[in-house]
Every structure is written in C-alpha cells, then in structure tokens.
Structure 1
C-alpha cells in the first residue's frame, strides 16, 4: 500500500490576532524541550514510544529552495519568514493514523509557540496587515536579494502531500496524468481570502502570490523520468532559480524522498480537511499509476488550460463554477468534485479510504471551506484580528 505524508505551514500569532515573527524563539524553546525529554529518557529507552520522538525535533532552518530533512515527520522547521513554522507527519498507510499525526503535529507546533506567548493559525495568508521578516541564514538572504519583492512579500502557508512511488519513472507517469485534477484540490483546500487586511476577492489568494516564483504552477507532460530531469536541469541552467530545490511545480518529484509531492493546496483550516486532501491525493497517485501500468495514454492537455483551471479554483474555491477536469468547460463546483471522486473511486475502495473520504467531504460542503468561514467571521464583526483568533482555536481542534 502506498504511504502518504503531509507537511503543513502555519502562521505564528499572538492572542490578539497579531501575526508575529517569533519562529526563532519558538524553535529554540522546542529544542530545549527536546533536550529535556532526551535527558529524562536517558537510560530508559524502553519508555520512549516506538518510532516517535520524545519531543519535537528541530531541524536546520530551510525555506524555498533549501533541502528537506532526511527523515520526514515529528519535527518543527523554520521557513523563509519568521512569522511561520512548518511541521510534518511521518509516512502512513492508514488514513486514521495520518489524521492523528496531523493533529499531533499541530499540537506540537502550538505547544512550542505557547511557550513564547504565541500560537499557531492554519491560514493560507495573514488576514491582518503584516511586514514579513526574513529568517536568519545566508540562503534566506540570497533568496531575498535575488527575488526582491516576490521574496519580501512571500508570507503564505501551504499543505504539501507526499505519496510513495516505486521509482522516478512511475512518478513522472503520475505527474503526467494528475494535472487536470489538481485545481479541484486547490478549491477544496481554499483558505486564504485576505491579503494585507483586505478581502482579495479570491478564495485562495495564496496561490496568486505563490505563483510569482519562476517555476511555480502547472506543467505540461514530461513523458519520461529522463525528460523530467532534463527540464529541471535546463531550468537551473537559466539562472532564474538557485538550484533544483526551487522547483515549485504544483506537483513534482520530491528531491529527497521517493515520493510524488503535490504542492498546490492551501494549508487547511482543520486537520480533518488536511486528511481529506491527503486521501484524495493518494487516490489520484494510485489511479494514475494504474493507468500508466495499463498502457493508457496520458491526457493531452495544454498547460494554458491547466493554468486557467487553477486560476478559476483560486478565484472561487467551492463557491462558484470550476473548470471540469473531464471536459475543460465550466461546471458547478459540486460536479467537479464529484468527477474527482468518481475518477479515484476504485483506488479509494482498494485503499480502504472511500468511506472516510465520503464522510470527510461533507465538512467543506456543510461548514464551508476555510475561505468561506473566514469571510463569514469577518462579516460578523469586521475585525481581521478576530478572524485570526477563531482560526487559531480551530487549528488544533
């Protein structure tokens, strides 16, 4: 069975809803807590839960373009900006276990933040105005210098889903087949309507900001792992990116793990929605791999169509029409989501995820996406700080 893991980025916030640049302090407190746990368990290795860290592992800071840690899960990590931290699960085969890991990661991040008087909020962008501050490190400085305003304004939180693959050839076959379905995932996860204190008019303004990076967004078919590597090498050779770590395709081969990494989604407001996203991504990967193994051709879709579908999902989320992944014509969002579920249904059944996905999908329709809820909260009081406070309360629920 394919494993699936989730990486999530969160904003660091004060109790009044202010977004604050305290990642360094949070990670220092987390490191101290880890050291204390390690000392308390010294000589009592049998007391440490199998396969788990005694506390949050703090890894070397990395942001856009930096290599990921060698071992996924159980850690807190810095990001490009001091107003953010990241956490990730370990690879899981069982969806319920993954949901637990997502919740535990959020609790770890929140606990570390609370030790310095802050908290975490699973929001794709910051509702209040904020001037992001750069995290320390030579690499961050290089990125900031080279990418100018794109880097200086880059304060966005995404959700990255990793699904295991047999090898790079299978991974590229998957990438060549899942592109039309990725905008639907963006719509389901949409959780960033505000930018600098204003309603952007988009359900996911994070995707608009993120797509300013040179390699971000949808890609055409590659056809083979060799061609994928050639494209990546050619992009680096342009000098427009620093290295292969800055390949920001909506879905890519992970540079460190044997996975396909789907990166299109906003961070989800609640852990249940992150688990739903992960299940749908794993279903897509499994479906695409089966299609390739059966010798079925990859869909012939132009990247311009994929970009338009992504924009549509970013603009309206689940609140309007989406571009159908089947016909590439406008359809109600419910129909596009139904098409996705129908497409991956055999894989979901075989993976044992269909019942859970059916149940979890009721959440976005019943209570709305993160974007819908943020707008409703703002309509009640006209206070973006209150939007942050309410989101913080739901992040670890």
Structure 2
C-alpha cells in the first residue's frame, strides 16, 4: 500500500492514516473462524484489506487522509465490505479488542514466513496474539522531530488507553479488565511505552538493541505503544483497542493527530519535556486498561489514583487549540461527550453481554455495533442518554 500518514499538508495540518483489526466469529457459538484468507481475497482491496497474524483476523487500512471526513468514509466503507463478505462465508466480523469466547490452542497462525517465525520465537505471546487494536499514523516532517514528539506523548498514553478500552469479555465471562487486549498483548516483551530517547540515534539504538537481545524478531515487532513507524514517515500510536464504531475510531484519530501536532509544536518551540518515570508510566497504562472510563487510574506523573475522566479532560483541554486549528474540535468533543454519557466500549460491551443471554445474541449485538446496521433480527438498544454511538449517525467531517 502507499504511505500511511505522510507529512503535513499545504496548510500545516498533518495527514493521518488508520489501521483497524477485526475478529471473525461463528454467529452461533462465538468461536473464532479461520476464514480470513478467503474473505480478504474476495474483498478485492489488496492494499486496503490485508492479513494479520491469525487466520481469524482481518486488517483494514485507510489511504493517506487529509481530514476526518476522508477517514470516516474509508473506515465505514471497509467495515461494511468486510462484514458483507464475511457473512457470505458464514462468519461475522466484529470490532472488539479480543475474541470474547477465547482462542484455540494451538493458535491459528497465518501461514506466512514472518508470522511462523514469530510463533517459533515467541510461543507464549503468539498463543494470545489474536487481539485487535487500532493504530493511528500521523505524518511528521522529520525523524528527529518525531523522536522529540514521542517524549511529549508519553504522559497521554494512559488516558488514551482508558478512553478506547473495548475488550472486557474474555473466555465467555466479564474479565474485570476494561481492556483485556492490553493484558494479553503485554506478553510481548516490547509492548510498553517507548523509553525516553532524545535523538534519532538513541532511538534507533534502542530498537536495534531490542532486536539484538531477542526481545523482538525485527524492527516491525518492537511494539512500543507509540513509536516511529518502521515503514512510513509517521508517528504510529498503537495504544488503543479496536473501537466498537467507526465514528469512535474517527474521533480517536482526530484526537491522536492533535496530540502529535501539539507535541511537534512544543518540540519546535523548545518547551521542556515533562519527565515521566518509565515504571510509573507502565503502571499507569496497566491501571487504565483495568479501569477504562469507570474507575481510578494511577496518575502517570505522581502515581496517585485519579478518575479516568480527570486525565482525559486534562488531555482534551491541552489539545483543544490544535483540534480547533485542524477543524476537528466539534467532532471530537461531541464524540467524547457522548462517551461520557453512554459509556466507553467496555461499558457497552458489558451491558450487551449481560443483556444478551447467549453467545449468538452477543455476537449479533457486536456485529450491529460494528457497522451501525442491524444484524439479523438484532436492533440497537436505546439508552437513557440517547442513541448508542454508531446508530444511523454520520459525521459531516472537518
């Protein structure tokens, strides 16, 4: 495919690209279905709908986008296309961070040399590797700028994790974690905030050392939560679970773009980096994965417990001028306020799971949320605060 992200456009607004990962489930039992190869081939978008590490996962990629309307169009089109083709193969594509009824053992690894090598080198991590995230690429003008921006993104990783947590159901039960995906993915040695690096040379040395020491197979498998993309001229933020709805992904992409823009501007202006201890930041990320939007998170700077929304509101306040400059302010703030009213992905999944009464009903509910269109006879539930996000809603764009 072409470059994801890229550099800033003519008016100084960075381009953005988004990767989404879907799980293929049996519509009756909820078990994973290894039909990705056939579905990807039939989708007919070889650079936009691609394989992932497991045969029950499908990844979609937007083109390089200049505004959030383009992101929304691409995400919605791909979600509907994957869902349509999956249904013809007797399976359902759902937007959730983990397969809710568990994974097979041995794992259903995609038969490609790199994935087979990963399975051989990291068997424990690969047994739980059928997790689905959302990766946002934001164009940056130079790698040194990107390294300095990464330093300034570190404190915002926990609120991003809390905001997007969407995997509370694991092995057929409410797990106690808002993001079970984060816990499973943490079996990879490099799934962590990137340690502080002040230069491109220092960052590259850190990545090379991870490979040389056996913590990663190659530079692509250094899975920092935010990193310099090993393939594109972008910062790639990998902290989020897959979002239930395309609209939530669009808003998240806008928020991440604004955070990167703020970090780049702060670096260019020589504003000091707020120091954050690595161990405290890792603890904060883990607490955010447990709490989601409905609990306490360890503040990444002080370690004291604070409400998730306290960290999120601080992040949004700081980034609001950049949202406004990009034309994204109304869209992103509306989406965040809606999450405040109806709950995050994890909250809604718990509600749907407890309400469903059977794996089939829960899978149908997830399928409906994924595309915003009724699956079978399932209809989206009403909520006292209004419609659930994704129900017949379309953004006007930026």
Give the TM-score normalised by the residue count of structure 1. 0.86
Cα 1:384–1:374 change in 2 (3 A) is farther
**Which residue does the alignment assign to 1:28?**
41
Residues 325 and 336 of structure 1 are in contact (CA less than 8 Å); yes or no, is this contact kept in structure 2? Answer: no
**Which residue does the alignment assign to 2:16?**
4
Structure 2 Cα separation of the partners of residues 170 and 305 of structure 1:
25
**Which residue does the alignment assign to 1:63?**
none
**Which residue does the alignment assign to 1:301?**
276
Residues 190 and 314 of structure 1 are in contact (CA less than 8 Å); yes or no, is this contact kept in structure 2? Answer: yes
Structure 2 Cα separation of the partners of residues 325 and 102 of structure 1:
32
Deviation of 1:108 after TM superposition, in Å, equals 2.2
**Which residue does the alignment assign to 1:44?**
none
Structure 2 Cα separation of the partners of residues 327 and 357 of structure 1:
28
Structure 2 Cα separation of the partners of residues 252 and 240 of structure 1:
16
User: Does residue 305 of structure 2 align to residue 330 of structure 1?
Assistant: yes
User: Does residue 71 of structure 2 align to residue 98 of structure 1?
Assistant: yes
Structure 2 Cα separation of the partners of residues 108 and 382 of structure 1:
28
Structure 1 Cα separation of the partners of residues 271 and 129 of structure 2:
40
Residues 164 and 243 of structure 2 are in contact (CA less than 8 Å); yes or no, is this contact kept in structure 1? Answer: yes
Structure 2 Cα separation of the partners of residues 326 and 101 of structure 1:
37
The one of 325, 347, 359 equivalent to 2:322 is: 347
Residues 245 and 371 of structure 2 are in contact (CA less than 8 Å); yes or no, is this contact kept in structure 1? Answer: yes
Residues 103 and 130 of structure 2 are in contact (CA less than 8 Å); yes or no, is this contact kept in structure 1? Answer: no
User: Does residue 330 of structure 2 align to residue 317 of structure 1?
Assistant: no
**1:349-372: per-residue Cα shift (whole Å, max 9, x none)?**
111111111111122122211111
Structure 2 Cα separation of the partners of residues 149 and 76 of structure 1:
27
**Which residue does the alignment assign to 1:49?**
none
Deviation of 1:192 after TM superposition, in Å, equals 0.4
**Which residue does the alignment assign to 2:173?**
198
Residues 193 and 203 of structure 1 are in contact (CA less than 8 Å); yes or no, is this contact kept in structure 2? Answer: yes
**Which residue does the alignment assign to 2:254?**
279
Deviation of 1:7 after TM superposition, in Å, equals 0.3
Structure 2 Cα separation of the partners of residues 249 and 342 of structure 1:
26
The one of 336, 343, 353 equivalent to 1:378 is: 353
Deviation of 1:112 after TM superposition, in Å, equals 2.6
User: Does residue 60 of structure 2 align to residue 87 of structure 1?
Assistant: yes
Q: Larger deviation: 107-116 or 357-366?
A: 107-116
Structure 1 stretches of 4+ with a deviation exceeding 6 A read none
Structure 2 Cα separation of the partners of residues 164 and 138 of structure 1:
30
Partner SS state of residue 360, structure 1 = helix
Structure 1 Cα separation of the partners of residues 259 and 298 of structure 2:
18
**Which residue does the alignment assign to 2:97?**
124
Structure 2 Cα separation of the partners of residues 326 and 300 of structure 1:
8
Structure 2 Cα separation of the partners of residues 173 and 272 of structure 1:
30
Q: Which runs of 5+ in 2 are unaligned?
A: 1-12, 373-398
Structure 2 Cα separation of the partners of residues 260 and 96 of structure 1:
21
Deviation of 1:240 after TM superposition, in Å, equals 2.8
Structure 2 Cα separation of the partners of residues 301 and 326 of structure 1:
6
Structure 2 Cα separation of the partners of residues 173 and 247 of structure 1:
19
Number of matched pairs: 357
Structure 1 Cα separation of the partners of residues 267 and 310 of structure 2:
26
Residues 83 and 92 of structure 2 are in contact (CA less than 8 Å); yes or no, is this contact kept in structure 1? Answer: yes
Structure 2 Cα separation of the partners of residues 115 and 381 of structure 1:
24
Partner SS state of residue 217, structure 1 = coil
**Which residue does the alignment assign to 2:83?**
110
**Which residue does the alignment assign to 2:333?**
358
Structure 2 Cα separation of the partners of residues 303 and 382 of structure 1:
42
Residues 220 and 301 of structure 1 are in contact (CA less than 8 Å); yes or no, is this contact kept in structure 2? Answer: no
Deviation of 1:384 after TM superposition, in Å, equals 3.9
Deviation of 1:327 after TM superposition, in Å, equals 4.9
Partner SS state of residue 130, structure 1 = coil
Residues 273 and 363 of structure 1 are in contact (CA less than 8 Å); yes or no, is this contact kept in structure 2? Answer: no
**1:121-161: per-residue Cα shift (whole Å, max 9, x none)?**
00101111331411112222211111112212211000000
Structure 2 Cα separation of the partners of residues 176 and 20 of structure 1:
40
Partner SS state of residue 82, structure 1 = coil
Residues 220 and 302 of structure 1 are in contact (CA less than 8 Å); yes or no, is this contact kept in structure 2? Answer: no
Give the TM-score normalised by the residue count of structure 2. 0.86
Q: Larger deviation: 161-170 or 237-246?
A: 237-246
Residues 287 and 344 of structure 1 are in contact (CA less than 8 Å); yes or no, is this contact kept in structure 2? Answer: yes
**Which residue does the alignment assign to 1:14?**
26
